[in-house]
Amino acid sequence: MARLTIIPDDTKIDFVGRRLWAFAIDGLLVVATVISLWTQGLNLGIDFTGGVVIEAASEKTIDLTSLRSKLGTLGFGEVALQNFGSDKSVLIRVQPSEQITGQEQVVAGKIKQVLGPDFRIMRQEVVGPKVSGELFRTGVIATVLAILMIAVYVWFRFEWQFGVAGMLATAHDVLVAVGMYSVFQFDFNLTSIAALLLLAGYSINDTVVVFDRIRENRRKFRQMSLGELINLSTNQTLSRTFLTSFTTALSVLPLIFFGGEALFGFAATILWGIVIGTYSSVFVASCVLLYLPTIKMGGQAPKQVQGAQV
């Protein structure tokens, strides 16, 4: 029985020749990310802002206007309400302010008193301003350190040029994923940091596969130019890269459609990261090597690229 072939094993795509188009697309994504972060910023969740978040459900349709008026009489400052999944569920968010600083638990208790027995409390989160600030700093530090450690790992496993290329590609993937949070104003919280760290690991995994094939092929084809070497290696690993990304994406889709509002941002980040990570592994990471000092090949440097063809 013949096996199913989605990507042929003998593709001859000129990735190096199309690198400028790939870099242009990357540039547009990065520019869009920077503009969105500059104009909108991130919609920081309660983990990073502090305050009180309560998700409640009722058997009846919830009148947000009436509920907002009742909560407004408590004097907690800004109280944001929105339907959560359906018109019978509500998400109540009390932003941090001088009125509630240090009184977050009291605020949560009074909100539940206003809701009364007709509402079921599905979720309650209470975070103080000091803790939220520390969580944000440690989350950013963890993400930056992860990217740097990935670069160090690739450096020692291959050569420093590969470490630099891997770091740039991974940082690009994480930055563009953060841009998605900004553009669509998803809640950016601790779950988002977990998604970014997962994305960084997944992205470098695909990149290392291509790098490893480049290292293997440069021992076989000592007179091949660097551009041809990159094209050959990328084409040889293209089927594996695509199928791995495709099957991983299939496992994420149920979270997007059935995971609910709480997991939607996380799942969407992972799915977007799979697409961007695969793209950068194929078109970006290896081609960056062309602009770095030439990698060695068994004591003999390969010829530099002119206009690579495979």
Q: Where are the domains of the chain?
A: 19-44+132-291, 51-127
Would you place residue 298 in the very low, low, confident or very high pLDDT band (cuts 50, 70, 90)?
very low
Whether residue 252 is predicted with pLDDT greater than 50 in this model: the reply is: yes
* Token pair of 275 as six digits: 């697409």
- The top-scoring range by mean pLDDT among 63-67, 186-190, 215-219, 246-250 is 246-250
How many Å separate Cα 81 from the centre of its chain? 27
Q: Do domains 19-44+132-291 and 51-127 have the same CATH topology?
A: no
**3-class secondary-structure state, position 93:** strand
Task: Answer for the pair 77, 213: CB distance below 8 angstroms, yes or no.
Answer: no
Whether residue 35 is predicted with pLDDT greater than 90 in this model: the reply is: yes
* Average pLDDT score over residue span 283-300: 70
Would you place residue 305 in the very low, low, confident or very high pLDDT band (cuts 50, 70, 90)?
very low
Would you place residue 47 in the very low, low, confident or very high pLDDT band (cuts 50, 70, 90)?
low
Q: What is the pLDDT of residues 178-205, one digit of tens each?
A: 888 888 888 887 788 888 888 888 888 8
> What's the CATH fold of domain 51-127?
Alpha-Beta Plaits (3.30.70)
CA–CA gap between residue 288 and residue 269 (Å, rounded): 25
Whether residue 299 is predicted with pLDDT greater than 60 in this model: the reply is: no
- The answer to whether the pTM exceeds 0.85 is no
- Give the pLDDT of residue 25: 87
CA–CA gap between residue 182 and residue 33 (Å, rounded): 8
CA–CA gap between residue 90 and residue 86 (Å, rounded): 8
CATH of domain 19-44+132-291: 1.20.1640.10
Distances (CA, A) of 275 to 29, 269, 279: 13, 10, 6
